[in-house]
Amino acid sequence: MKKILLSFFDVTFLKFILVGIVNTVVGTAIMFFCFNVLAWSYWVSSASNYIVGSIVSYLLNKRYTFGQKGHDWHIIWKFIINITLCYGLAYGLAKPFVAWVLSGISTNVQGNVALLVGMVLFVGFNYIGQRFWAFSPKKD
What integer pLDDT is reported at residue 73 of this predicted model?
84
Radius of gyration, CA atoms only, the chain: 16
Q: Any idea what DSSP says for residue 67?
A: -
Does pLDDT of 8 surpass 70? no
Question: How far is Cα 45 from Cα 33, in angstroms, rounded to an integer?
Answer: 8
**What's the confidence (pLDDT) of residue 1?**
67
Would you state the pLDDT for residue 56?
Answer: 85
Arithmetic mean of pLDDT over the chain: 87
Confidence of residue 5 (pLDDT cuts 50, 70, 90): low
Nearest to 83 by CA among 59, 60, 55, 63: 55
Kindly list the distances between the CA atom of residue 37 and the CA atoms of 33, 34, 40, in Å, as whole numbers in the listed order: 5, 6, 8
Side chain identity at 38, as an amino acid letter?
A: L
pLDDT in tens, 77-129: 999 999 999 999 999 999 999 999 999 999 999 999 999 999 899 989 998 99
Other C-beta atoms closer than 10 Å to the C-beta of 3 total 6
